[in-house]
Amino acid sequence: MRVFRAIGRLVKGTWWLFVGMVTTTKHFLRRAITIQYPKERFEQWPRFRGRVAMVAGDDGGHKCTACAQCIRVCPAACITLERHKEGGVKGFVVDGYVIDIGLCIYCGLCVEVCNFDALAMVPEYEMSVYDKAELVYDIPKLLSRQLEPEFKK
Amino acid sequence: MATDTAIHTQEFQVNMGPQHPSTHGVFRMVLTMDGERVVDCEPHVGFLHRSMEKMAENRLYIQFLPMADRIDYLSSLFCSVAHCQAVEQLMEIEVPPRAKYLRTMFMELNRIASHCIFFGVFALDLGAVTPFLYGFRERELTMDLLEMTTGQRITFNYPRFGGVAADLPDSFFAVAEKFLKVFPGRITDYERILNENEIFLARTKGVGVVDGARAINYGWSGPNLRASGVNFDLRQNMPYEAYGELGYEAVVLSNGDCYDRYLVRILEMRASHALIKKCLEGLPDGPIVKEKVSKFPKVPAGEVYARVESPRGDYGLYLVSDGTNKPYRYKLRTPSFNNLSMIREMLPGVYLADVVPIFGSLDVILPDVDR
């Protein structure tokens, strides 16, 4: 009896090994889904939240009004803003706007709370640098990449 | 000639982790061994402690939303949905039906992604490399769907107080249809490779058996509990979001060994697939976010307990608000911690080789344990 059971197990085990091999062979003959990264690249979906960028206005400059809503919402506190009041001008004047990409967690909340569409997430993901100081993005650097913001509120 | 044939052994200790590949993160077990047998196991957790609860208490409600994604990064949507549910319950916000359906659908997609990882990693722990690649391949499909809607692949930051952040893009439906068509066949492939494989059966059947009563005593939840024959699933027993309308029947198996814990997850992937299909078919029109909910809400004073069925089990969140814009107390009840708590009782008596399948079948994730 034990012999028969052992033979039965052997046959069953071999059969399921065979089924598994057929499955893997089928996949082996398919086209590979991996890509060779530095040579080939994925195309990002338009909404992909890469890094934060400033949206250029009609004059090519930024649209920030220094309302500081983005600073209020930022969970990582990576945005710094310098502003001052000036006589005759309504609101604030922006002196400097800096985002430390090294601290940013790419949540996109700053883009969402911005009432003036001054910020957008652009699908850029290769931001490695050799020096940490290069990760601090100021206004010209934030304006350097322009894309139609698809991630609508 | 009469000799003493018994070999006298000495107990010794083996450190497993914190850098061991099959501890899925940084988890350390000090195993006291008697030859091949485990005598005692001393688990050490806390290597990944990031004081999430305290971080929540020091941030605005909206600021913790992307952070909640990082509590359990393989199923991050569940944590942020629970966060939103707690705030919505205190503020008495009714979420629009479309937002409910969207949340449900993406939670199920995220569940599939998480179970795919479990499938791959569990098989990898047992020495099979192919399922790992298959699991990650299918996870990529769900990630694509999540990425094109939410904008991220892992930390989605998708739900908002009173709804969700974004509606489906136009290209979503074609990709989703392709995924729904392809995925059942892929699960069949998974089953063909592992379900009846002799080596896999030998290493998982009857290993690490936990009966239902013991599982309940230790506060187990999720697939681990259902593998022990307890019919409890929040989606079925306490429906939230759109589960009540969709209807869901929990997958329950009875043996409570490593194999059943594996099989429950495979069957749940099929159930999730059916739910996503139902969601897409019955997706109501309308707004995706409730009007006039502040981005920086002041939550009325009170206490609330929100719970969701995450891929690892019952994810609970106890929130105490004192009426300001920050939580007063933010207590997390993460499923992985409770599921892991039995490891000290499960391990004594088993072989060293069985430690890996037992630990792997619990499907704990260490950031969720330590949080």
Same domain, A58 and A22: no
State mean pLDDT over B335-363.
87
Q: How far is A59 from chain B (nearest CA, A)?
A: 29
Which residue in A22, A45, A75 is closest to B147 by CB distance? A45
Residue B2 pLDDT > 80: no
Q: Which residues of A touch B189 (CB under 8 A)?
A: 23, 27
pLDDT at A151: 46
**Nearest-by-CA chain B residue for A110:** B63
The tens digit of pLDDT for each residue in A91-114 reads: 788 888 888 888 888 888 888 888
Residue B367 pLDDT > 70: yes
Q: Which residues of A touch B63 (CB under 8 A)?
A: 73-75, 109
Is there a domain that residue A109 lies in?
A: yes
State mean pLDDT over B233-256.
86
B329 has which bridge partners? B320
Q: Are B21 and B334 in contact (CB under 8 A)?
A: no
Same domain, A75 and A9: no
Say what the ipTM of the complex is: 0.81
pLDDT at B162: 85
Same domain, A88 and A121: yes
Q: CA–CA separation, B296 vs B345, rounded Å?
A: 46
pLDDT at B304: 92
Query: Does B149 lie at the interface with A, CB-CB under 8 angstroms?
Result: yes
- Write down the mean pLDDT value for chain B: 87
Cβ contacts from A onto B, under 8 A? 79
Same domain, A26 and A58: no
Reading the block at residue B139, the tokens are: 């996870």
Same domain, A102 and A60: yes
Identify which has the larger pLDDT, B18 or B143. Answer: B143
pLDDT at B4: 65
Cα-Cα-Cα-Cα torsion B296, B301, B303, B305, nearest 10 degrees, comes to: -20
State mean pLDDT over A64-86.
86
Is there a domain that residue A89 lies in?
A: yes
The tens digit of pLDDT for each residue in B147-202 reads: 888 888 888 888 888 888 888 888 888 888 899 998 898 888 888 888 888 888 88
Same domain, A90 and A133: yes
**Nearest-by-CA chain B residue for A11:** B198
The tens digit of pLDDT for each residue in B75-112 reads: 888 989 999 999 888 888 888 888 989 999 999 999 99
Same domain, A135 and A80: yes
Q: Which residues of A touch B193 (CB under 8 A)?
A: 20, 23-24
Is there a domain that residue A45 lies in?
A: no
pLDDT at B194: 85
Is there a cis peptide before residue B18, judged by omega within 30 degrees of 0? yes
Q: CA–CA separation, B252 vs A61, rounded Å?
A: 61
Is there a domain that residue A149 lies in?
A: no
Query: Does B166 lie at the interface with A, CB-CB under 8 angstroms?
Result: yes
Write the burial class of residue B170 (CB in 10 Å: 0-12 exposed, 13-18 middle, 19+ buried). Answer: exposed
Quick one: what percent of chain B has pLDDT higher than 90?
5
Tally of domains in chain A: 2
Query: Does A2 lie at the interface with B, CB-CB under 8 angstroms?
Result: no
Interface of B with A in 31-50 (CB under 8 A): none
Whether residues A75 and B192 touch (CB distance < 8 A) is answered with no
State mean pLDDT over B312-318.
89
Range of the domain at A69: 51-143
Query: Does A125 lie at the interface with B, CB-CB under 8 angstroms?
Result: no
Give residues with Cβ within 8 angstroms of B28, minimum separation 6.
B15, B16, B17, B18, B43, B44, B47
Q: How far is B261 from chain A (nearest CA, A)?
A: 21
What's the Cα-to-Cα distance from B24 to each of B19, B220, B264, B332, B369, rounded to whole Å? 9, 19, 20, 21, 12
Cα-Cα-Cα-Cα torsion A111, B167, B153, A114, nearest 10 degrees, comes to: 0
Q: CA–CA separation, B140 vs B132, rounded Å?
A: 12
**Nearest-by-CA chain B residue for A75:** B63
Q: Are B260 and B223 in contact (CB under 8 A)?
A: no
Give residues with Cβ within 8 angstroms of B239, minimum separation 6.
B248
- Give, for B30, the enclosing helix (H) or strand (E): strand B28-34
Question: Which residue of B58, B193, B325 is the best one to mutate when testing the A interface, meaning the one whose CB has the most A CBs within 10 A?
Answer: B193
Question: What is the secondary structure of B290-356 as a DSSP string?
Answer: -TT--SS--PPSEEEEEEEEETTEEEEEEEEE-SSSSEEEEEEE-HHHHHHTTHHHHSTTSBHHHHH
Which residue in B63, B67, B134 is closest to A73 by CB distance? B63
Is there a domain that residue A137 lies in?
A: yes
Q: Which domains does chain B have, with CATH numbers?
A: 1-49 (no CATH), 62-363 (1.10.645.10)
State mean pLDDT over B249-260.
88
Is there a domain that residue A44 lies in?
A: no
CATH at residue A91: 3.30.70.3270
Same domain, A16 and A87: no
Identify which has the larger pLDDT, B3 or A133. Answer: A133
State mean pLDDT over B321-335.
88
Same domain, A29 and A63: no
Is there a domain that residue A148 lies in?
A: no
Is there a domain that residue A25 lies in?
A: yes
State mean pLDDT over A70-81.
88
Same domain, A100 and A69: yes
Same domain, A26 and A80: no
In this prediction, residue A147 has a pLDDT band, given cuts at 50, 70 and 90, of: low
R_g of chain B, CA atoms, integer Å: 22
Give residues with Cβ within 8 angstroms of B226, minimum separation 6.
B232, B233, B250, B251, B252, B253, B264
The tens digit of pLDDT for each residue in A8-65 reads: 888 888 888 888 888 888 888 888 888 888 888 887 888 888 888 888 777 877 888 8
Same domain, A62 and A6: no
